[in-house]
Amino acid sequence: MALATLVHPTGSHPASWLHPSAYPGASMDIGYYRDMARLAERGMFDLFFIADTPAARTSQLEAYARFPLFMNVFEPLTLLAALAGATTYIGLGGTASTSFFEPYNVARQFASLDHISGGRAAWNVVTSANDFAARNFGLDRLPPHGDRYERAREFVDVVRKLWDTWEDGAFLRDRESGLFFDPAKQHPVAHEGRHFRVNGALNIERVPQGQPVIIQAGASDTGREFAAETAELVFASDSTLEAGQRFYADLKGRMARHGRPPEALKVLAGLPAIVADSEQEAEDTYQTLQALIHPDVGRMRLGMDLEADLSGLPLDEPIPPERIPASANLHKAYFEHILGMIREGLTLRQLYMRYERGNRTIRGTPKQVADHMEEWFTSGAADGFMLTFSLLPRGMADFIEKVVPELQRRGLVKREWRGRTLRENVGLERPGHRRQ
Amino acid sequence: MALATLVHPTGSHPASWLHPSAYPGASMDIGYYRDMARLAERGMFDLFFIADTPAARTSQLEAYARFPLFMNVFEPLTLLAALAGATTYIGLGGTASTSFFEPYNVARQFASLDHISGGRAAWNVVTSANDFAARNFGLDRLPPHGDRYERAREFVDVVRKLWDTWEDGAFLRDRESGLFFDPAKQHPVAHEGRHFRVNGALNIERVPQGQPVIIQAGASDTGREFAAETAELVFASDSTLEAGQRFYADLKGRMARHGRPPEALKVLAGLPAIVADSEQEAEDTYQTLQALIHPDVGRMRLGMDLEADLSGLPLDEPIPPERIPASANLHKAYFEHILGMIREGLTLRQLYMRYERGNRTIRGTPKQVADHMEEWFTSGAADGFMLTFSLLPRGMADFIEKVVPELQRRGLVKREWRGRTLRENVGLERPGHRRQ
């Protein structure tokens, strides 16, 4: 199975930086990231992944000062390039938005990262989901969901064409003939679309992986169709085995109509995990963190994903129905998860204490966590996992020490690297050059 | 004096990759760049600089296949981030165009590089000078010179505002109070201009250098005024001491009206150098390289800077006057340099064999090169030098072995690093935070 990890500086828990074991300087310490990438590589993780949003909040700062998500972080491409030299095998994945960036720059920077890392780059294609980012790029607000995906499809199409500017072997570097490249092996892009006009050639040769790996995570119908068409790794966020199996089958089922075999896309189930020698110890770690969530933070986080203003509401009563929007514009899966809990009649405080973005954190022994992973992997719910750790680096170190050897004993995780590229290690074929 | 070096993979000479000592795989070998950056650092260079254009040519490929300038290169920001971990003191400078990129991304990536490198980032602000790049970004051709500079001024203004989103010390990381940052120390940008609308906050704290160093190289009147207003390092390209002194005095003279003291800007004179134990040996190296220039390449390079189509013209006759444009739209200094030679009555072949972009390559002994540098430095023509080497890494290694110790003996080049940031080493003050 493929192993990936999504890294937030001190961990994925909203109060992680407040934990006594956390290093509050983590987000601006490149040495800390280097150590963590090396740790993940020693633990046979295939992918070290950096989520991103190109904005810092400018409102609700009293809450964000206590929960500094993306308020002060390295930019992903520069960070990943810096990590390339500190690692040898692990894949390096980062997020770049199709709503605000230019295809030429994205194509070029991920291609450059693939060359710098010897074939380990992966691009997480996102359409972005907040107006704060939009306002940094000349817009008043985010375009609607459907429009963002239309632009994203065209954006990815252009990027892939740019990546195939040059055939493999176009660069001869032949002093005898005096030819550095073969002019017949350049295929410039001539793209005139609704959102982009790109007429030219990428100034970097075809990458070690053929093309960098494409990641996506959209759970909506549009998002799934887009993933079935173009994604190679998909981060899933279902909470039950049955939902995971449905998502897996649905996504793989959509691929045929885009002429893709099911194995051309790997589903990585999101898995927040706290592992300890006893279940109680894992639960204690979780509850210690939960107790550190400030009510302002709980209210704000819940409101963000419910797309509702929860300020001023009493903590120990249910949310009044008139505060709840009819439908989601941002993260549909998160929104519906919260709606489900609201229908159970929980109070605002109970909601935010129970709500987690994506999956519920699994707390358990190495055997329990390994059993969970084996079950999902062998019953058609996942090709691998995107692990998040509430506390870093401790949570990752525990997982690597306790769970990875168990998964290796079961023959589920490799003991040796299959190659030097991300594609080789997760079992994705190197794409052939598409003449354009 | 400040020492910078502009690095092309195998050297700055158009035929460098054809030289027997060159490594033709250089442009895509990150290990090669790492070694070169370390070499420059050992030689007490303050700045390792990467020029750039975001495009590969798609026409005249028969010539470009023999002179592969920017046809297959790392993207600068990812390259510099990868070099940060391999070096400790040397500044890391790269080019990013204000004509095609977004201020938020540029601000963020250079800020991230400054943090990753511990205060060594420098941004070379260019308006770009070719239509090939424009067509990769939705435009049919480059906007006119004046419009590009107007946009550039606004672009730099927005980037600098973004860099001052957070006051120094805004990030408290204080577990006792539960505050990661002080909300009062965030100052979001509210910019509504002719070219850009940016309303938000940069998601990275103020950088070790306060702001990354701003580099420029424009020689036109508009370019000089822009540099006097905003640049901290300026690459100059005058060929004679007198012209260098005039440029230096003019540029520093323009600064007062922007409220800046002359020492807030360092002029680095461009200096292509071939150094050897005897003048004849240096000359031989130069002539060996010149003899490797293919006529197609000579014709194409001259035509590019003359902004003229020279195809089909006989090599051993002067260029017919009707092929020569009345004025330059791209690099004014290069254009006028060629016009000057045309007036001497040279043939096309003589022109391209004699023409060099920017300064004439100095070929000489260590003493001759050091004398030249001392003369410019002590007579008000330069605060330092931007060295280019015809052949890399050999040319740089020769310079470091033979010239740097001589300059140190004369007290012109430091023996110890003054600090860990580029600003400290070149003597530029750390800018205070401008409340906005």
Give yes or no: residues B224 and B239 share one domain. yes
Sign, CA torsion B102/B103/B104/B110: positive
For residue A105, the number of C-alpha atoms closer than 13 Å in the C-beta half-sphere is 21
Most distant pair of Cα atoms in chain B: their distance: 80
Please state the pTM of the whole predicted model. Answer: 0.96
- Per-residue model confidence as pLDDT tens digits over B22-68: 999 999 999 999 999 999 999 999 999 999 999 999 999 999 999 99
| A190 in B contact zone (CB under 8 Å) | no
In contact, A402 and A19? CB cutoff 8 Å? no
Looking at residue A333, its pLDDT comes to 79
In contact, A414 and A89? CB cutoff 8 Å? no
Q: Which residues of B touch A74 (CB under 8 A)?
A: 112, 115-116, 204
* SS3 assignment, position B186: strand
Q: Name which of A62, A78, A202 is nearest B112 (Cβ-Cβ).
A: A78
How do beta strands A121-126 and A91-97 pair?
parallel
In contact, A62 and B183? CB cutoff 8 Å? yes
Q: Which residues of B touch A61 (CB under 8 A)?
A: 183, 186
Residues B74, A294: C-beta atoms closer than 8 Å? no
Give yes or no: residues B185 and B200 share one domain. yes
Number of domains comprising chain A: 2
Residues B56, A200: C-beta atoms closer than 8 Å? yes
For residue A210, CA distances in Å to A120, B198, B323 come to 11, 36, 43
Q: Which residues of A touch B67 (CB under 8 A)?
A: 180
Q: Name which of A72, A135, A203 is nearest B73 (Cβ-Cβ).
A: A203
Give yes or no: residues B89 and B180 share one domain. yes
Which residues have CB under 8 Å from A414's CB, separation 6+? A44, A408, A425
Q: What is the DSSP letter of B429?
A: P
Residues A73, B203: C-beta atoms closer than 8 Å? yes
Q: Compute the nearest-CA separation of B260 from chain A (Å).
A: 30
Query: Interior CA angle at B126 toward B250 and B62, to 5°?
Result: 120
Q: Compute the nearest-CA separation of A71 from chain B (Å).
A: 5
Q: Which residues of B touch A178 (CB under 8 A)?
A: 18, 66, 294
Interface of B with A in 76-95 (CB under 8 A): 77-82, 84-86
Residues A78, B77: C-beta atoms closer than 8 Å? yes
State which amino acid sits at residue A95.
Answer: T
Rounded Cα–Cα distance for residues B6 and B11 (Å):
9
- Per-residue model confidence as pLDDT tens digits over B102-120: 999 999 999 999 999 999 9
Rounded Cα–Cα distance for residues B366 and A2 (Å):
57
Q: Name which of A70, A71, A109 is nearest B181 (Cβ-Cβ).
A: A71
Cβ-Cβ pairs closer than 8 A, A with B, add up to 233
Q: Name which of A54, A79, A82 is nearest B104 (Cβ-Cβ).
A: A54
* Best of A23, A34, A70, A105 to mutate (most B CBs within 10 Å, chain B): A105
Rounded Cα–Cα distance for residues B288 and B298 (Å):
15
Give yes or no: residues A147 and A180 share one domain. yes
> Does A165 reside within a domain?
yes
Confidence of residue B360 (pLDDT cuts 50, 70, 90): confident
Residues B138, A61: C-beta atoms closer than 8 Å? no
Q: Which residues of A touch B73 (CB under 8 A)?
A: 203-204
- State which of B310, B327, B354 marks the end of a domain: B354
Which helix (H) or strand (E) segment is B253 a member of? helix B241-255
Q: Compute the nearest-CA separation of A130 from chain B (Å).
A: 12
Give yes or no: residues B111 and B49 share one domain. yes
In chain B, what is the straight-line distance between the N-terminal and C-terminal CA atoms, in Å? Answer: 35
Looking at residue A295, its pLDDT comes to 94
Residues A58, B24: C-beta atoms closer than 8 Å? no
Residues A183, B57: C-beta atoms closer than 8 Å? no
> Does B433 reside within a domain?
no
- State which of A354, A386, A404 marks the end of a domain: A354
> Which residue of chain A comes nearest to B24, CA vs CA?
A173
In contact, B92 and B113? CB cutoff 8 Å? yes
Q: Compute the nearest-CA separation of A16 from chain B (Å).
A: 11
Give yes or no: residues B211 and B295 share one domain. no
| B132 in A contact zone (CB under 8 Å) | yes
> Does A120 reside within a domain?
yes
Which residues have CB under 8 Å from B352's CB, separation 6+? B293, B295, B298, B299, B301, B302
Give yes or no: residues A205 and A349 share one domain. no
Looking at residue B117, its pLDDT comes to 98
State both tokens at A340: 């489900």
- The answer to whether the peptide bond before residue B76 is cis (omega within 30 degrees of 0) is no
Q: Which residues of B touch A180 (CB under 8 A)?
A: 17, 24, 65-68, 71-72
Give yes or no: residues A205 and A310 share one domain. no
Q: Which residues of A touch B171 (CB under 8 A)?
A: 28, 72
Beta strands in B57-128 (DSSP E): 91-97, 121-126
Number of H helices, E strands in chain B: 16, 13
| B58 in A contact zone (CB under 8 Å) | yes
Dihedral (Cα; A198, A201, A205, A210), 10-degree rounding: 40
In contact, A228 and A156? CB cutoff 8 Å? no
In contact, A268 and A384? CB cutoff 8 Å? yes
Q: Compute the nearest-CA separation of B112 from chain A (Å).
A: 5
Give yes or no: residues A143 and A242 share one domain. yes
Most distant pair of Cα atoms in chain A: their distance: 80
Looking at residue A385, its pLDDT comes to 98
> Does B318 reside within a domain?
yes
B391-394: Cβ within 8 A, 24+ apart: B391/B10, B391/B11, B391/B13, B391/B16, B391/B19, B391/B21, B391/B22, B391/B274, B391/B285, B391/B289, B392/B7, B392/B8, B392/B9, B392/B10, B392/B11, B392/B16, B392/B22, B392/B26, B392/B36, B393/B35, B393/B36, B393/B39, B394/B21
Q: Which residues of A touch B132 (CB under 8 A)?
A: 200
Q: What is the DSSP letter of B258?
A: G
Q: Looking at the predicted complex, does its ipTM rise above 0.90?
A: yes
Give yes or no: residues B350 and B380 share one domain. no
- State which of A293, A324, A354 marks the end of a domain: A354
> Does B233 reside within a domain?
yes
Residues A180, B65: C-beta atoms closer than 8 Å? yes
> Does B375 reside within a domain?
yes
> Does B431 reside within a domain?
no
In chain A, what is the straight-line distance between the N-terminal and C-terminal CA atoms, in Å? Answer: 35
Q: Compute the nearest-CA separation of B66 from chain A (Å).
A: 5
- Per-residue model confidence as pLDDT tens digits over A337-363: 899 999 999 999 999 999 887 678 999
Q: Compute the nearest-CA separation of B195 from chain A (Å).
A: 9
| A75 in B contact zone (CB under 8 Å) | yes
- Look up the CATH number of the domain holding residue B266: 3.20.20.30
Q: Compute the nearest-CA separation of B153 from chain A (Å).
A: 17
| A187 in B contact zone (CB under 8 Å) | no
Ordered per-residue pLDDT tens for chain A, 436 residues? 999 999 999 999 999 999 999 999 999 999 999 999 999 999 999 999 999 999 999 999 999 999 999 999 999 999 999 999 999 999 999 999 999 999 999 999 999 999 999 999 999 999 987 889 999 999 999 888 889 999 999 999 999 999 999 999 999 999 999 999 999 999 999 999 999 999 999 999 999 999 999 999 978 899 999 999 999 999 998 889 999 999 999 999 999 999 999 999 999 999 999 999 999 999 999 999 999 999 999 999 999 899 999 988 999 999 999 999 999 887 787 899 899 999 999 999 999 999 887 678 999 999 999 999 999 999 999 999 999 999 999 999 999 999 999 999 999 999 999 999 999 999 999 999 987 6
State both tokens at A171: 């660069």
Rounded Cα–Cα distance for residues B93 and B137 (Å):
23
* SS3 assignment, position B159: helix
Rounded Cα–Cα distance for residues B376 and B393 (Å):
25
Rounded Cα–Cα distance for residues A376 and A371 (Å):
9
State both tokens at A44: 């046979």
Give yes or no: residues B200 and B235 share one domain. yes
Radius of gyration over alpha carbons of chain B, in Å?
Answer: 22
* Best of A79, A203, A206 to mutate (most B CBs within 10 Å, chain B): A203
State both tokens at B227: 């540099």
Confidence of residue B181 (pLDDT cuts 50, 70, 90): very high
Residues B75, A101: C-beta atoms closer than 8 Å? no
> Does B112 reside within a domain?
yes
| B74 in A contact zone (CB under 8 Å) | yes
Q: Name which of B65, B77, B173 is nearest A179 (Cβ-Cβ).
A: B65
How many CB atoms within 10 Å of residue A391? 24
**Nearest residue to B206 (alpha-carbon basis) of B96, B70, B137, B111:** B111
> Which residue of chain A comes nearest to B189, CA vs CA?
A136
Give yes or no: residues B35 and B113 share one domain. yes
**What is the mean predicted confidence (pLDDT) over B423-432?**
98
Range of the domain at B414: 2-279+360-426
State both tokens at A121: 């780059």
